[in-house]
Each structure stands twice: as C-alpha cells, then as structure tokens.
Structure 1
Amino acid sequence: MPPRINIPPVTRIVLIALGVQSILSAAIRYRQWTAHSEIVIPYLNLVPQLSLVYPWTFLTTTLVESNIFTFTIACLTLHNGGRYLERAWSSAELAKFLVVVSLVPNLLCFGTLIALFAFTRNERWTLTTIAGTIPVQISFLVAFSQLVPAHTVTLFRGLLSLRVPRFPLLYISAVTFLALTPLLTSASFFLAVYGFFTSWTYLRFYKPIFPDLDASQPASLRGDASETFALSEFFPGPARPAVAALSAHVFDALVALRLCTPFSAADISAAARAGGGDHSSFGQQRGVPGSARAEAERRRALALRALDQRLHAATAGSAARAQNAPVPPPTVKQPAPSATGPTVQMQPQVGSQGAMRAGGLLGQTNYNPEGEGDRS
C-alpha cells in the first residue's frame, strides 16, 4: 500500500490551485512565445491596464508562478508553512489568513502601479504583471515570528544564528535584489512590503486567538499585543526607537480612520495584570494572548479542587451515617452435615468501604497548570 500523504485540506487545495494555474500559464506562454514581445495573460494574472474586466485575478493571481525556480520555492513554502499553520490555527483561520494576505497586497500593489503611471506617464507600470506567492511567503514568516518569536535558526553549521523575527526583512532584501533580475518583476518588491505590513496588521489587531471562558468578557480575544510581536521587534536595535515612534503615529491614523479599535482602560489594566509590556499606542497591550488561556486554566484548577473537596465531604458524610445506623442482628446459618467446617465469607464494612473510596480509589484530584500552582 502506498504511503498516505497527510496534507490538511486548505493546504492541499492551495497546492493544487498553484500547480494547475502555473502549468496553464506556462502552456499559454509556450504557445504564444515570440522573441519580440512580452506575453501577458490578463485573465490569469493581474495586469493593471488589462485585468479590470477579470476581477477574480485580484485573488487568483497569487497562485500563479512564471518560472520553475519560483514555482519550486512556492510549493515548498505552501506545503511546509501551510501544514504547520493549519494545524496550529485551524483550516478556517488559515483560509481567512490566505485570502487577506493575497487580496490586500494585490490591491495595494495595483494602486501603487497606477499612481506611478500617473506621475511618470510611463505605460510600462500599467503593463507590469502582479503575480506570485511572494505576499503569502512573507506572511508565513510573520506568522512564524508570532508563534515562535524566541526561536533561533542556525545556518552554515553554526556560523550564522538568526532569530525568526529577522527573516521577514531578509526576505524583503532578497526579493528586492531578485527584482533586478528576470526572475521577478518590478512589482515583487511592492508585494513583499505590502504582504509584510498586511499580515502583521491582521495578526496584531484582527485575528481571533482564543475563546474566553469567562462570561464577563467578550466571547473571543483578537490580535496579539505581546511585546515580542511589536513592529519594532522585526528591525535591528538601532532602528527600533524610530520604528516605534512612527508606528505610534500610524496607529493613531488607523484609529482615526476606524480601521483599528482604540484600546480601552480595561484592556490596559488586563495587559498590566497579564505581565506588562509597553503601553504606548501601537505597542499597547490588549492582554497577552496566553493570559486568557492561563486564566481559564486557573479557573478549571480551582473548580476541580472545589469539586474534589465536595466529593470527599459527601463520601465522609455517607460513611459516618452508615457507621451510626443500627446494625441488624447477625443470622447464623447451620452448616450442612456433610460440610467439614464452617464457610465464612468476609464482607467489608460500610465505613471501611467509604474510607477506601475517599483515601485510596478517589485519591486527591488536583489540576495545577504550570505556573499556576500557587494561585488560588
């Protein structure tokens, strides 16, 4: 029997769409290839001047690669990154994330190329093809920076060690260099930059992270206000103060445009109880995502402890009542003449049975999550 390929559904669908569209694009280019003209496919790729009549290309163009080099990297990225994130989040959350990080960067890149044409009157900008998985790839790097911010990747047998949040900027630098070669179009740089900011903004402020079990709070928490996921953490140390100051102004603008929800006093106090962090504009805390989970675990532990105490009290009470109840006189049964001796079958007393249940079988039911054992 051949080995079963274990790929989650959304990742599988995305890989199939990437393969089908990329192969179709390659076949069309092969049939229409000439040495004197550049081939564009406006109904498959997003071309600002030609694709307005094909609105689906604003989304589907992300899953079209034009050469074997970028196609191979896209397959590896979607296969490994998609499987990891789909299992860490869920199929529905990964699907929403892919739609956001595909559609928004393509729209922003489309508007940028139109603006460049308006300023330069160079038609080359409006005939530039917007395609490829670049926004998805850098979005996966941003998502990994959120999930494992302290993880360090060692390269070249220990010669180079980099934390995961350093990779998005390195990726943008590599895309910028390759955009100067025939491998990538000039739109690739804009796709990488817009993909970075789109994915970080979505994960920072909008993505649901954990359903809160406390009835006095909203049904879910959104975003990730942890200090390790602040925008300045993606930049080198000398640039962080400037990035933090700029991000604060951008956050104020987004709040004014009602694209982000301003932080309330309850959010700030919850963040302070959850463990601090910076509380200035973009870096302000809604509450660390793990704080809701830790609070829920603590409440479960307290509930289990109270239930355990009630069970012990109920068992002890029933044992005491059984011991105080009048005992009926024993019935003596004469042995049969053929018996060689009396047969005695010992039954455990009710009191000892209750004690055995309370101390031996039931035991002590404690649920103490890590770090919460001393909180009651």
Structure 2
Amino acid sequence: MPARINIPPVTRVLLIALLLQSVLSAAVRYRQWSANSEIVVEWLTLVPQLSLFYPWTFVTTTLVENNIFTLGIAGLTIFQGGRYLERAWSSREFAKFLLVTSLVPNILSFLVLVMMFTLTRNERWTLTTVSGTIPLQISFLVAFSQLVPAHTVTLFRGIVSLRVPRIPLIHLGVVTVLSLTPILSVAHVLLATFGLLTSWTYLRFYKTVFPDLDSSQPTSMRGDASETFAFAEFFPGPVKPAVAALSDQVFNVLVAMKVCTPFSAAEVSAAHGGGFIQRGAPGGVRAEAERRRALALKALDQRLHAATGTTGPRSQSQPPSHTSGPTVSTQPQPTQTAMTSQPAALLGETNYVPDQDHMEKHSS
C-alpha cells in the first residue's frame, strides 16, 4: 500500500479551496470569454470597482489563481510551507497568520488602486483584479527567515549560496519583473510588497511567543525582539545601515500612533538569552515536553543499569545461563533499595513502570 501523505488540517483546507476556486474561476471566464473584453469574476476575486457588494472577496481572492503556471507554484508553496509552519506553530496560530497576511495586503492593495484612480481618473486601476497567493508566498518566506535565520540555501551545485533572509527580496524582485509580462499584473507587486511588510510586522510585534519549559517568563509576551529578525536583515550588507536608520524612524512614528509597542526589557532579554523559543521544528511545546520526558526516562534507564550492575549487553564470551535467574528473595538488599528509591528521587511526581521483559533483563 502506498504511504499516506500526512497534511495538517488548515493546510489541507487551503489546498482544497485553492483548487476549487481556481477551477471555478477558470470555468466562468472560459464560458464568458470574448475577444473584445476581459472577463472578471467580481463575486470571487477582488475587483475594486465591482466587488464592493461582495465583501467576502477580500478573503477568497487570495486562493484564486488565473493560470496553470501560478496555480502550480501556489499549490507547491502551500503544500510545503504550510505543512512546516502549521506543525511548527499549531493550527490555530497558523490560521491567524494566514488571515492577517491575506486580508491586510488585499485591503491595502485595494486602497492604493482606488487612490491611483482618484489621481489619474483612469478606470484601468479600479478594474485591475487583485488575486492570487503572492502575499502568502512571501509571508512564508518571511516566517522561514524568522525560524531559520542562519540557514543557507545552495543552488546550482554551490555556484549560488543565499541566506534565507535574502530570499523574500528576491521573490519581490521576481514578481516585479513578471508584472511586466502577461503572467502577472501591477496588483501582484502591491500584494508582494504589502505581504512582506504585513508578515514581518505581525511576527515582529504581535505573534504570541512560546516560552521555553525551563523559563520563568510569562506566556503573554509577543513578538520577536532578536537582532536576527530586524527588518534590515532582509537587505544586503552595504545598505543595512540606511535601512536600519529608516526603519527606526518609521517604528518611532508607529509607536507615537500607538500602532506598535516598544519591546520591554524582559522581552529583549528573552530574545537575546534564549528564554523563549520560536518553534522551528514541528511539534512545538508538546514535542519539547516529550523530548524532555524521553531524556528523563533515558537517565532513569541509565541509573537502573548502574544500580543492577549491568552497563551493557551480556558479553558474547559468557555462556548463556539455563536458569531463569535468582528469585526476589535472593536479590541483594542494596539493589532493591536502589531500584525502589532512585526513580522517585530522579523524576519527582513522574511514574515510570518498565515493561516486564525490561525488568527481567535488569534482574538477570
């Protein structure tokens, strides 16, 4: 039987919605196609001049692709990136991230197109379709930049080597170039730009930070104050100082407008001292608890080996014993004391009941 692909629930819903909505949009456009007009589906995709009576399009338009090329890239991006981030953050946090990084860029792109129409009186701006997974794609790259900032991607057998925080800007540049072709439009450049800014702002200042199990910090802290996730880290070294100075000024304005809140001393200390973990591996806090429990059980197993005097498997040079081993009454008293007292002293309230075969092995 073929291996079953395990897809988390939110990622599965995204893939299904992407496929169904893209096929539905293609069917409507194919049925109404004519050589003299451009077909738009105003009740499914966001068209500033036509979709005002369909407010749900601010959300649904993100999962509509208009050609097979962009649909394939979108499906691959959601399948790979969605699975990783949902397992790293939990389904609830991943769903919140998706809602923010799709809704906000769509609204901002809508406002920019309306403003351009106001300035130029050219209806082409308000008839531009705002759709596609571009904001999700660049948001996933920003999230990877936070989770694995030191990771390097090597392409073409080492000819090209890029750190992960450099990839979002490259993605933005590729989208800008493709907007000059019929594949993408100017709306996609707006979506990519606002997707980058929105995802970084949310992860930097608003997303809940998961505490380390050994940390006494409160669980209500948010954002990521680490220097490796500063906005200037997305840019090459020569322009970092200028970007950092500009971003500091913008941040001060946002603080004055009460949009952002400065990081507290505890948050900065946690970011630099590792008091909080960005759950970069699937499983998060629950997986961390399981890992620590496994380490504790391993330590208990080693103590049991030391207490019974068996530090490894039976030597092959010794002939096998034909007896079933000494009974409980013939066991040395110190061994019984060690076996009954050490686990409680080691794990506190944790109860560890070894399997019968495992106990027989130690007894022998």
Mean CA deviation greater in 210-219 or 159-168? 210-219
1:348 Cα offset (Å): 6.1
Letter in 1 for 2:113: L
Cα displacement string for residues 355-374 of structure 1 (whole angstroms, at most 9, x for unaligned residues):
54489x6598499xxxxxxx
Question: Which has more radius of gyration?
Answer: 1
Match of 1:32 in 2: 32
Report the CA distance between 1:250 and its aligned residue: 1.1
Q: Secondary structure at the match of 1:153?
A: strand
Specify the alignment match of 1:291 in structure 2.
275
Aligned-partner Cα distance in 1 for 2:3–2:215: 46
Q: Tell whether the 8 Å contact from 1:45 to 1:129 is kept in structure 2 after alignment.
A: yes
CA contact under 8 A between 1:224 and 1:289: conserved in structure 2?
no
Look up the match of 1:342. Answer: none
Q: CA 1:27 to 1:214, structure 2 compared with 1: closer, same or farther past 3 Å? A: same
Partners of 1:166 and 1:235 within 8 A in 2: yes
Superposed, 1:128-167 pairs within 5 Å as 128-167=128-167
Identify the range of structure 1 (218-227 vs 56-65) with the bigger mean alpha-carbon deviation. 218-227
Does the CA contact (< 8 Å) of 2:209 and 2:276 recur in 1?
no
SS in 1 for 2:52: helix
Give 2:62's aligned residue: 62
Equivalent residue for 2:248?
Answer: 248
Instruction: Classify 1:217/1:120 alpha carbon distance in 2 versus 1 (closer, same or farther; 3 Å).
Output: same
TM-score by length of 2: 0.77
State the match for 1:16 in structure 2. Answer: 16
Matches within 5 A, 1:1-376: 1-211=1-211, 217-264=217-264, 266-267=265-266, 271-272=268-269, 274=270, 287-288=271-272, 290-292=274-276, 352=334, 356-357=338-339, 362=343, 365=346
Q: Deviations over 1:220-256 (max 9, x none)?
A: 3211111111000000111111111111111111112
**What residue identity is the alignment partner of 2:85?**
L
Aligned equivalents of 2:275 and 2:119: distance in 1? 49
- Distance, in Å, in 2 between the alignment partners of 1:215 and 1:209 is 12
Report how far residue 260 of structure 1 moved.
Answer: 1.1
Distance 1:215 1:158 in 2: 40
Gaps of 5+ in 2: 279-284, 300-327, 349-364
With over 3 angstroms needed to count, the CA separation of the structure-2 counterparts of 1:288 and 1:222, relative to structure 1, is farther
How many angstroms apart in 2 are the aligned matches of 1:136 and 1:216? 34
Paired residue type of 1:162:
L
TM-score, length-normalised on structure 1?
Answer: 0.75
- Tell me the CA shift for residue 259 of structure 1: 1.4
Structure 1 residue 215: deviation in Å?
9.9
Q: Following the alignment from structure 1 to structure 2, what is the Cα–Cα distance between the partners of residues 156 and 357?
A: 57
Letter in 2 for 1:271: V
* Residues 39, 293 of structure 1: alpha-carbon distance in 2 compared, 3 angstrom cutoff: closer
Conservation of the 8 A alpha-carbon contact between 1:205 and 1:224: yes
TM-superposition CA deviations, 1:126-147 (whole Å, max 9, x none): 0000000000000000001111
CA shift digits 1:9-35 (9 cap, x unpaired): 000000000000000000011111111
**Quick one: higher RCO (CA 8 Å, sep 6+), 1 or 2?**
2
1:63–1:131 contact (8 Å) kept in structure 2: yes
Q: Distance in 1 between matches of 2:127 and 2:273?
A: 44
- Once the two structures are aligned, what percentage of the paired residues are identical? 64
What is the root-mean-square deviation in Å for CA atoms of aligned residues?
3.0
Deviation at 1:262, TM superposition (A): 2.3
Partner of 2:44, secondary structure, is: coil
Q: Residues of 1 paired with 2:18 and 2:49: CA distance?
A: 24
Partner of 2:306: none
Distance, in Å, in 2 between the alignment partners of 1:92 and 1:214 is: 24
* 3-state SS in 2 of match to 1:126: coil
CA–CA separation in structure 1 for the residues paired with 2:212 and 2:344: 31
Compared with structure 1, are the counterparts of its residues 353 and 213 closer, same or farther at alpha carbon in structure 2 (3 Å cutoff)? closer
Task: Assess if the C-alpha contact under 8 Å between 1:153 and 1:164 holds in 2.
Answer: yes
Taking structure 1 as reference, are residues 289 and 2 closer, same or farther at Cα in structure 2, changes over 3 Å only?
farther
Query: How far apart, in 1, do the equivalents of 2:217 and 2:332 lie?
Result: 50
Compared CA separation, residues 24 and 366, structure 1 to 2 (3 A): same
SS at match of 1:40: coil
Residue 215 and residue 78 in structure 1: after superposition, are their counterparts in 2 closer, same or farther (change >3 A)?
closer
Misfit runs of 4+, over 6 Å = 212-216
* 2: CA distance, partners of 1:202 / 1:356: 53
What code does the residue aligned with 1:49 have?
Answer: Q
Letter in 1 for 2:48: P
Letter of the 1:290 counterpart:
G
Distance verdict in 2 for CA 1:346–1:135, change over 3 Å: closer
Q: Relative to 1, partners in 2 of residues 1:6 and 1:214: Cα closer, same or farther, differing over 3 Å?
A: closer
Count the aligned residue pairs: 306
CA contact (8 A) 1:212 1:221 kept: no
Whether the 8 Å CA contact 1:212–1:220 is kept in 2: the answer is: no
